[in-house]
Structure 1
């Protein structure tokens, strides 16, 4: 990970930057979604994940460079997840900061929180269009469990990792 990067808990003052990061991170996929305006609108509210889960951010220097949502066991999740599993949601890294290990560091922090919560499995859902994230998850030990409903025409699947 970049030497000057710091992983920390989200603060409400991070909201606008987290929302900007989410839109920027997904912009490269805009043509894959059959309703990019609707997808973009949802991404621009990523900070609202803090109302049901924990948002973890990566500071690089004096700016936000990445974020991820962690939803622990017992927190309401989409029906295609086992409700007992902690899940990782919306891992986003600023396109200018990719390749610095921030996605790996944010995912690893989710593992630490799942262990804190005494969980033996962690889950996420992702898509084959995520050509950087999906291989990273597989390399980190995730494996596909089942398909999930598509999002605006893009296929998704659920992946889990034993902790």
Structure 2
């Protein structure tokens, strides 16, 4: 599998939305149901942030929303930090390094914007994503955990960029 990482193209938005929804679907338990449409709406995220994709030929294997300085999609990052959201890998491509490659692309974007650290939030049960973050040097930051909606708790991770 030859994976390429790049900004999303308009014709890939629908496929990327489907990948996001498929990756997140196992984690929707009721309280997060309102979030389904936000997960699927790649066009809005790409207009208000930067959506990056992992592709193999014409197939979208995964995507991530990088939140540059000033983006309304930033949630917990401080001024000198980068942030990414909705790291999603198609179930058929999981375990192949796609998530790691997308996270690294976000780190490179953050560096290009002058960030010295990264911050992100995750659902507690997204343990496969947490393993990626740990391998990349992210650590839990419980003091930054938060709740975006009743019944939804998010855990925070951070990393210094070298």
Show structure 1 runs of 5+ residues with no match: none
Are residue 42 (structure 1) and residue 38 (structure 2) matched? yes
> Which of 89, 104, 109 matches 1:113?
109
Q: How many residues align?
A: 159
The residue correspondences of 1:9-158 to structure 2 (distance < 5 A) are 9-31=7-29, 33-36=30-33, 38-78=34-74, 80-145=76-141, 146-151=144-149, 153-158=151-156
Alpha carbons of 1:23 and 1:77: their partners in 2 closer, same or farther (altered >3 Å)?
closer
| Contact 1:127 1:134 (8 Å CA) reproduced | no
Q: Partners of 2:32 and 2:7 in 1: how far apart?
A: 32
Task: Normalising by structure 1, report the TM-score.
Answer: 0.87
Q: Partners of 2:150 and 2:13 in 1: how far apart?
A: 24
Show structure 2 runs of 5+ residues with no match: none
CA RMSD, 1 decimal: 1.9
